[in-house]
């Protein structure tokens, strides 16, 4: 079957990320095969067939996305829509299966940590889900079993990312793309020293916090409480800095009266929808933690740090989403500048309103298009007036409206404004990578805090966190990709 493809100029294609997660998923499949060989006497044959089939499916799917993630299908559209949406829901089912398997291991692990913190009233009888037969050699089987559960988070991220990319492909089937929509992005590293230094400092601090957290948590009650307090203080400071940076970027955009690009762009709309949709995962966890703190009968001292942390998670993601969406809806600077400077210079007869000289200095294009010689007389007071030619209603507008944004006072202009915005984007980019690391590598205070399990119940809270956490991890990865695009666009 011949399928014609039309290259998509700009879309959501994190090929490098999905390749990395696919490789780890295949390694996970190899460990499952080894686990099946060790316990083959008491495991069903499907336990060995499934990882082989899944590995083949992963290879073929990544190969397909490598070649066609940026394409738009124009032939056999009904058949292709069915096939692609089938692949989307297949990956979602595999994601749900991975979440369930990971939960089996985490239930026992987090119950032990909660008992260490003093929550002894959580009485749930759980087994270790080990087959009844023996495995030889026992040491190797134990290592394989632990390795499988540590790789599940990467497998979960792969399924979500693959579903998203396939959904983009499904959404773009039969889409018409205008050639003028393409904007070439360039990566520029100069002028972002402050944002890079602050972001790399946050990244280094994150690695240190994660290492200490994983060493201390579950060792003793004192160390577990210290690990939780350390993490909350680190996260509160980082989220406050990120929120302040996002607010500064939004303020700069609002002071700059550059027009917005309101044209239809499915890829851009999907980016915004993914930011809001995946942020809802962490918002659900945060609101659950806030309710638990407010409704609990007794609260250990360290749980109070969770209250500002949960509030800041909600506020920071809201601010960051506004900054990213505002950035991706900005028109290219060169085009917007050309539109703003298309003014017609006329002469004010009689009493002319005096204009500041800075207005003329910032509007050279207006003088370029003006008539020369006798057609450009000066008013009696020596000042020249600018006005847009249009209807009577437009001519009756105030001077402030006619002069346009160039005559308004700005805090930052030109290269200085772009430099500040690039520093903000670079800082937020590195901070999102920093906040992606803790949950991806097992540093999850949402499990270890203990208060939510008491208020909502152990199993319900674990299920909520297991369903929402992958979306929270994916949000940080997608936000980092969007911020990198913003950085290159500024």
Across the chain, mean pLDDT equals 75
Between the alpha carbon of residue 227 and those of residues 27, 116, 208, 306, 434, the distances in Å are 31, 13, 12, 13, 18
The domains of the chain are located at 13-119+133-175, 189-331+412-489
For the entire predicted model, the pTM comes to 0.71
Distance of CA 464 to the CA centre of its chain: 21
Would you say the C-alpha torsion 186, 187, 193, 199 has a positive or negative sign?
Answer: positive
The pLDDT score that the predictor gives to residue 178 is: 57
Consecutive H or E run containing 269: helix 266-295
Q: Helix 221-255 to helix 414-440 angle, to the nearest 10 degrees? A: 150
Lowest-confidence segment of 134-138, 298-302, 407-411, 453-457 by average pLDDT: 407-411
Of the ranges 227-241, 349-363, 378-392, the best mean pLDDT one: 227-241
The pLDDT score that the predictor gives to residue 259 is: 65
347 pLDDT more than 60: no
Residue pair 81/170 in contact (Cβ under 8 Å)? The answer is: yes
* pLDDT tens, position by position, 309-335: 999 999 999 999 999 998 887 765 554
Cβ neighbors of 304 (< 8 A, separation 6 or more) are 293
* pLDDT tens, position by position, 427-479: 999 999 999 899 877 788 888 887 888 888 877 887 788 888 888 888 998 88
* pLDDT tens, position by position, 141-184: 778 877 887 788 788 888 888 888 888 888 778 777 655 444 55
The pLDDT score that the predictor gives to residue 108 is: 65
> Which residue, 62, 248, 252, is CA-closest to 158?
62
> Which residue, 95, 96, 98, is CA-closest to 151?
98
């Amino acid at each position: 079957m011949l399928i014609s493809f039309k290259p998509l100029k700009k879309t959501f294609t994190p090929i490098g990320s999905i390749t990395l997660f696919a490789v780890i998923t295949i390694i996970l499949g190899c460990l499952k095969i080894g686990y099946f060989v060790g316990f083959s006497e008491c495991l069903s044959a499907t336990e060995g067939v499934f990882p082989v089939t899944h590995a083949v499916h992963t290879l073929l799917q990544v190969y397909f996305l490598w070649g066609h993630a940026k394409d738009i299908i124009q032939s056999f559209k009904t058949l292709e829509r069915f096939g692609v949406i089938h692949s989307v829901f297949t990956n979602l089912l595999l994601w749900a299966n991975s979440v369930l398997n990971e939960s089996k291991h985490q239930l026992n692990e987090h119950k032990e940590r909660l008992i260490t913190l003093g929550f002894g009233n959580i009485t749930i009888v759980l087994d270790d889900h080990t087959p009844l037969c023996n495995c030889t050699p026992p040491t190797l089987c134990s290592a394989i079993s632990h390795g499988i559960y540590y790789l599940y988070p990467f497998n979960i991220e792969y399924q979500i990312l693959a579903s998203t990319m396939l959904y983009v492909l499904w959404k773009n089937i039969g889409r018409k793309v205008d050639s003028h929509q393409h904007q070439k992005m360039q990566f520029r590293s100069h002028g972002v020293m402050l944002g890079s230094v602050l972001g790399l400092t946050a990244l280094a601090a994150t690695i240190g916090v994660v290492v200490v957290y994983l060493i201390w948590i579950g060792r003793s009650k004192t160390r577990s409480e210290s690990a939780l307090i350390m993490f909350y203080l680190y996260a509160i400071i980082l989220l406050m800095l990120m929120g302040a940076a996002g607010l500064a970027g939004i303020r700069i955009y609002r002071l700059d009266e550059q027009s917005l690009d309101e044209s239809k762009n499915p890829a851009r709309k999907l980016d915004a929808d993914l930011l809001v949709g995946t942020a809802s995962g962490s918002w659900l966890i945060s609101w659950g933690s806030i309710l638990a703190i407010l409704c609990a009968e007794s609260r250990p001292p360290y749980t109070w740090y969770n209250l500002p942390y949960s509030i800041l998670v909600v506020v920071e993601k809201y601010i960051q989403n506004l900054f990213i969406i505002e950035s991706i809806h900005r028109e290219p600077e060169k085009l917007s500048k050309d539109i703003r400077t298309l003014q017609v210079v006329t002469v004010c007869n009689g009493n002319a309103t005096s204009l500041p000289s800075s207005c003329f200095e910032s509007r050279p294009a207006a003088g370029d298009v003006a008539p020369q010689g006798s057609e450009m007389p000066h008013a009696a007071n020596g000042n020249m007036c600018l006005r847009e030619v249009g209807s009577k209603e437009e001519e009756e507008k105030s001077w402030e409206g006619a002069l346009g944004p160039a005559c308004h006072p700005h805090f930052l202009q030109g290269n200085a404004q772009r430099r500040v915005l690039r520093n903000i984007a670079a800082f937020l980019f590195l901070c999102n990578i920093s906040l992606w690391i803790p949950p991806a590598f097992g540093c999850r205070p949402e499990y270890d805090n203990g208060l939510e399990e008491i208020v909502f119940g152990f199993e319900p809270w674990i299920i909520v966190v297991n369903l929402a956490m992958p979306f929270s991890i994916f949000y940080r990865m997608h936000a980092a990709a969007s911020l990198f695009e913003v950085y290159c666009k500024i």
